[in-house]
Amino acid sequence: MSILASNSDSVRAASEAQSAQDDPPQAWKQQSWQQQMKSAIRDLATLGERLRIEVDIEATSGATAQFPVFVPLALLDRMEPENPSDPLLLQVLPVAGEDQSPEHFSVDPLEESAATLKPGLLQKYQGRVLMIATGACAVHCRYCFRRHFPYQESPTSMAQWQPAIDEIAADDSIEEVILSGGDPLTIVDAKLSDLVDALGEISHLKRLRIHTRLPIMIPARVTDGLIELLAQSRLQLIMVIHANHAKELDGSVADALERLATAGVMLLNQSVLLRGINDNSQALIKLSQRLLELRVLPYYLHQLDQVVGTSHFEVSPERGIELIKQMRAALPGYAVPRFVKELPGEPNKTVWA
């Protein structure tokens, strides 16, 4: 049986009673990024109520117990109410049957456990290592390939990062550290500053890359403190943001990205090809055009990793290759991302188009 939040009078009454005590709907705009992490929506019923859409709480309870709903209000603000197919909503909406993926969908499709050098440090490719700096994110994306990652085992403090830092310091073939997660920008400025400083002291490191969705999910994360701590590093800085649809990139995101670009951070974007969200050439072309306006180069379009719980997002590789062809015919070459798939054991990501 499903619980239809928007149709049930009792649920509606309860939510009205609740929201009367709540802050006004736009109050988050005055909140710091940390307050916005706290005020994020964490359950499906509230998400359904706020957007006035039907949600199936019972049929998704297994999926949400394993990977809870997490939607910051700054993202909710960009979703269209009463539209169950909104491309931002679909990225975060648990669906019935998520836990019944086909058999070839696994919990560790990239064989990451084999690439772990130290807790929280992965190396698959020459010259660069990936540091899982934290397990926390500012949004829970239902297609996430890390949804089964053993984050409890990941380090989250300077003392816990030290073995990974020592490992990087001991190997002068490493030129670039990628801070990933989770989302490394969920780490507060003071702690992040210590980590960036410690990496800056490793003389053979040239570049620091940060993989993050935070400037998009909660643009207020791009604080003066963050800009300062990045600008003072001797390392070359690259930030790879993660937008899947042009609707994510509103004025507040544009301001945050402008501040990063002005501070000298090279901005790239990665997307995942997602059924019903961006699997048409119009959506992908618009995304690239909007990214260019914001001084962000489209870097990768990823074929979905086959992780349990994500099969409803899958688009065929043939379709992906066709979409890239259509993009190439419509955009300057630098605005077309590389369509890639990560195959275990390969020396680089495999480029399909």
Ligand X SMILES: *Cc1c(COP(=O)(O)O)cnc(C)c1O
Residues near ligand X, by CB under 6 A: 122, 124-125, 128, 130, 178, 342, 348-349
Distances (CA, A) of 206 to 163, 172, 187, 266: 20, 11, 22, 14
Distances (CA, A) of 239 to 16, 44, 265, 350: 41, 31, 7, 21
Which residues are within 8 A (CB) of 150 and not within 5 positions of it... i.e. 6 or more apart? none
Would you count residue 141 as binding ligand SF4 (CB under 6 A)?
yes
Strands 176-180 and 207-211: parallel
Quick one: what does residue 105 bind among ligand SF4, ligand X, none, with the CB cut-off 5 to 8 Å set by partner type? none
Q: Based on CB atoms, which residue is closest to ligand SF4, 137 or 336?
A: 137
Distances (CA, A) of 134 to 212, 225, 319: 12, 19, 34
First to last CA, the chain: 44
Between 188 and 227, how does the x/- string for binding to ligand SF4 read (CB under 6 A)?
Answer: -------------------------x--------------
Quick one: what does residue 140 bind among ligand X, ligand SF4, none, with the CB cut-off 5 to 8 Å set by partner type? ligand SF4
Q: Based on CB atoms, which residue is closest to ligand X, 51 or 122?
A: 122
Q: Candidates 175-183, 288-296, 305-313, 321-329 — which segment interacts with ligand SF4 by CB under 6 A? A: 175-183
CA dist 310 and 121 (Å) reads 25
Please report how close the Cβ of residue 297 comes to ligand X at its closest, in angstroms: 13
Please report how close the Cβ of residue 146 comes to ligand X at its closest, in angstroms: 10
Please report how close the Cβ of residue 302 comes to ligand X at its closest, in angstroms: 9
CA dist 271 and 338 (Å) reads 10
Please report how close the Cβ of residue 304 comes to ligand SF4 at its closest, in angstroms: 11
Query: Cis omega before residue 182 (within 30°)?
Result: yes
Quick one: what does residue 146 bind among ligand SF4, ligand X, none, with the CB cut-off 5 to 8 Å set by partner type? ligand SF4
Q: Based on CB atoms, which residue is closest to ligand X, 71 or 110?
A: 110
Among 86, 183, 189, 342, binds ligand SF4 (CB under 6 A): 183
Quick one: what does residue 124 bind among ligand X, ligand SF4, none, with the CB cut-off 5 to 8 Å set by partner type? ligand X
Which residues are within 8 A (CB) of 293 and not within 5 positions of it... i.e. 6 or more apart? 254
Quick one: what does residue 184 bind among ligand X, ligand SF4, none, with the CB cut-off 5 to 8 Å set by partner type? none
DSSP string covering 204-272 = T--EEEEE-SHHHH-GGGS-HHHHHHHHT-SSEEEEEEE-SSGGG--HHHHHHHHHHHHTT-EEEEEEE
Please report how close the Cβ of residue 242 comes to ligand SF4 at its closest, in angstroms: 6
Q: Based on CB atoms, which residue is closest to ligand SF4, 98 or 183?
A: 183
Among 137, 185, 216, 294, binds ligand SF4 (CB under 6 A): 137
CA dist 17 and 304 (Å) reads 41
For residue 305, the Cα-to-chain-centroid distance in whole angstroms is: 14
CA dist 184 and 239 (Å) reads 11
Residues in contact with ligand SF4 by the rule CB under 6 A: 137, 139-141, 144, 146, 181-183, 213
